[in-house]
A and B are shown apart, each in its own frame.
Chain A
Amino acid sequence: MRYRTYHDVPGKDRSQLAHQVAAQRARVTERLGAIDRVVAVMSGKGGVGKSYVASVLATAASEAGKAVGVLDADLNSPTVGRLLNAGPLNMTDVAMLPAVGDRGVRVVSSDLVLDEDAPLRWRGASSEEFVWRGTLEVGMLREFLADVEWGQLDLLVVDLPPGADAAKDLMTLIPSVAHGLVVTIPTEESRRSVARAIQAAQDVNMPLAGIVENMSAYHSPDRGEPGPLFDGDAGAALATEFDLPLLGRLPLRPGRSPADAVGDAPGLVDRVLERLL
């Protein structure tokens, strides 16, 4: 005997799972209605300055008079809250209020809900954690988007963890809203790794605003002129390979806070904003 299919059985699905997931999505969409533009700062490679660039961009846009939020999507290694000196967050009955950082940038990060230096630990963790960890991470991102009273924003900057998976997760949550902004350092290793991430982003149809090359030069605290740091020209090479604009180059200036680095890449924020239209 062949059973009927799920859809052949006309009765109501009392598990209501699909219904609830749809309601979650609707909540994200509703919240995003008040957000003009979303840019996700990404890279295939770790440690290239994604969080730094995200912070520079956010403070620069804020200085230019825009209402700006930053969502730290690096749940396991949150950094952007610190880079922006974000204060504490608050809860209301219906939503979380973002913390406020340098230049009034609104920040939400897992940092703010974890104990000092504690890792992100899931309750009920077991040997099967791998089965549901990814689902929880996407769920946490969803709540950071939907359950936060972002208010009206001109720009939401999302700081992604290294690799391409997070960009894909973001695209499932907010398809056709987010642009990617790709960060690389000049080296050949970085070029290879970032090239993979760009293709992965293209696989999920994420539009890319362009490329920022970080640590293009070394700006020592005591010498006036920036000098070379890494070999390579990955920013320009990736721009050519993928037909994307190289939106700016940022020197490495040890100890410089992102809010002060705005002038180090003149015009960067304008070029990024222009590409998000």
Chain B
Amino acid sequence: MKFLCIDCDAQMEFFDRQEPGDGTFAAAFACPTCGRRVAMLANPMETHLVGSLGVTIGGNTLDQDPLHLVKSHVEGAEGKLAGHGRPAWTPESRSRLDRVPSFVRGMVMKIYNEWAMERGISEITPDVMDEARVDLGLEEM
């Protein structure tokens, strides 16, 4: 999708993405000409519909985990597939990771994964991220 500023007839630029709560997905755009800013708010059903395609609005520069969709959408599958390979990321921690600039995102994810795997943690939540950050002294990630 593209956002068009009608007054300026210019394509608006994407500048932020958030999951502010209650299943809402927000993507924010600004007009490069007049500076007007808008946020597109998708309701939980719309968010889920996009998520069910196994894609992320705004793109995904990471190599996704194998069976990403199964792990994140099928009840119980996470446990069956856990303990093997990389830990799973909850949607909240995932969207937090998405705020990291894309060119270092893969590396940051790897750091968190390794930290969690060393401790036998199978799921990365925002709390786990906080703990790892303090532990590793990485305040900027």
Interface residues of A (CB under 8 A from B): 1, 3-4, 6, 9-11, 13-17, 19-21, 24, 90-96, 110, 112-115, 118, 120-124, 126, 128, 131-132, 135-136, 139-140, 142-144, 147
From DSSP, what is the main secondary structure of chain A's interface residues? loop
Kindly identify which residue among A20, A114, A136 contacts B59, using a CB–CB cutoff of 8 Å: A20
Query: Does B93 touch A at the CB level, under 8 Å?
Result: no
Residues on A with beta carbons closer than 8 Å to the beta carbon of B1: 6, 13, 15, 17
Complex formed: what's the CA distance from A126 to B80 in Å? 24
A140 / chain B contacts, CB cutoff of 8 Å:
69-70, 73-74
**Contact digits for B71-91, partner A, Cβ 8 Å, 1 yes 0 no:** 011111100110011100000
Q: State the CA gap A113–B74 with chains docked (Å).
A: 9
Listed from nearest, the 7 A-B pairs whose CB atoms lie closest are: A91-B84, A16-B59, A147-B66, A14-B14, A11-B11, A20-B55, A132-B52
Q: A4-B4, A132-B49, A135-B49 are contacts. A113–B80 as well, Cβ < 8 Å? A: yes
Q: Is the CB of B54 within 8 A of A24?
A: yes
User: B138 near A: Cβ within 8 Å?
Assistant: no
Q: Could you list 20 A-B pairs, sorted by A, with CB under 8 Å? A: A6-B2, A9-B11, A14-B14, A16-B56, A20-B53, A21-B53, A113-B77, A113-B80, A114-B74, A114-B76, A121-B74, A121-B75, A123-B73, A126-B44, A126-B45, A132-B49, A135-B49, A136-B73, A140-B73, A143-B66
Contact check, B45 vs A128: say whether CB atoms are below 8 A apart. Answer: yes
Residues from chain B with Cβ under 8 Å of A136 in the complex: 52, 69, 73
Which residues from B are CB-within-8-Å of A135?
49, 52-53
Closest to A122 in B: B73
Q: With A11-B2, A19-B59, A136-B52 as given contacts, are A92 and B74 in contact (CB-CB < 8 Å)?
A: no
Which residues of chain B come closer than 8 Å to A19, judged between CB atoms? 59
Whether the pair B58, A16 counts as a contact (CB closer than 8 A) is yes
Distance from A212 Cβ to chain B, minimum over Cβ atoms (Å): 31
- Interchain pairs with CB closer than 8 A, number: 135
Chain B positions 20 through 34: 1 when the CB is less than 8 Å from some CB of chain A, otherwise 0 = 000100010000000
Of all chain A residues, which has the CB nearest B82?
A91
Q: Would you call B67 an interface residue if the criterion is a C-beta within 8 Å of the partner chain's C-beta atoms?
A: yes
A10 to B11, CA, bound (A): 8
Which of A1, A11, A92 counts the most B-chain CB atoms under 10 A from its CB?
Answer: A11
Q: Does B99 contact A (CB under 8 A)?
A: no
Q: Does B104 touch A at the CB level, under 8 Å?
A: no
Partner of A120, one of B23, B66, B74: B74
Q: Which of A10, A24, A114, A143 has the most CB atoms of chain B within a 10 A radius of its CB? A: A143
CA–CA, A120 and B70, complex, Å? 11
Instruction: With A16-B55, A17-B55, A142-B69 given, name 17 new contacts (CB 8 A).
Output: A1-B6, A10-B11, A14-B2, A14-B14, A15-B58, A15-B59, A110-B74, A112-B80, A113-B67, A114-B76, A114-B80, A120-B74, A121-B76, A124-B23, A132-B52, A136-B73, A140-B69
The answer to whether A13 touches B49 (Cβ under 8 A) is no
List the A residue with the shortest CB-CB distance to B56. Answer: A20
A20–B56 CA distance with the chains assembled, in angstroms: 8
Asked whether any CB of chain A lies closer than 8 Å to the CB of B9, the reply is: yes
- Chain A nearest CB: distance from B103 CB in Å? 16
